[in-house]
């Protein structure tokens, strides 16, 4: 497990708690938070199942809840799972300079793509995030396959 700063650990834990809440609601356990320094801007979770919205990924829900921002240039996005290409594109589009990822084993996502575009990426390799995703995939493999667009 990567050693995180106290601030990073706090906001990654919020992302994990959002993921756990999503799991307990019957959805995909992927959570996110957005912070500027020590200030929480927003938090959210994957809402695809709960809202029937195919693009309501954890990062997207968080950013939607953050509302309009004049700039994201001093913010960090925390996510329990490595972002898919849609969420990666949104991070780049909004100019979010830093992303802290709970885990990238279950789903490798796009950390290299982010790095190639100047985004600082930290993979925490968080045991809680990994355990929650492993449980979800074991209990709901069909929902996981749907979430990552695999047949």
Q: Which residues are catalytic?
A: 59
Backbone angles phi, psi at 46, to 5 degrees: -55, 125
- Tokens representing 38 are 């020590």
Classify 49 as helix, strand or coil.
Answer: helix
- Tokens representing 121 are 């990426």
Backbone angles phi, psi at 47, to 5 degrees: -125, 20
Classify 40 as helix, strand or coil.
Answer: strand
């Amino acid at each position: 497990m990567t050693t995180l700063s106290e601030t990073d650990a706090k906001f990654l834990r919020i992302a994990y708690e959002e993921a756990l809440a999503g799991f307990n609601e019957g959805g995909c356990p992927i959570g996110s938070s957005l912070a500027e320094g020590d200030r929480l801007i927003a938090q959210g979770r994957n809402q695809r199942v709960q809202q029937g919205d195919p693009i309501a990924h954890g990062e997207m829900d968080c950013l939607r809840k953050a509302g309009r921002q004049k700039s994201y240039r001093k913010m960090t996005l925390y996510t329990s799972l490595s972002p898919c290409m849609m969420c990666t594109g949104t991070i780049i589009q909004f100019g979010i300079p830093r992303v802290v990822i709970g885990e990238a084993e279950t789903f490798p996502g796009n950390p290299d793509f982010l790095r190639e575009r100047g985004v600082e990426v930290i993979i925490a390799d968080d045991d809680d995030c990994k355990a929650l995703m492993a449980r979800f995939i074991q209990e709901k493999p069909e929902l996981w396959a749907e979430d990552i667009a695999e047949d």
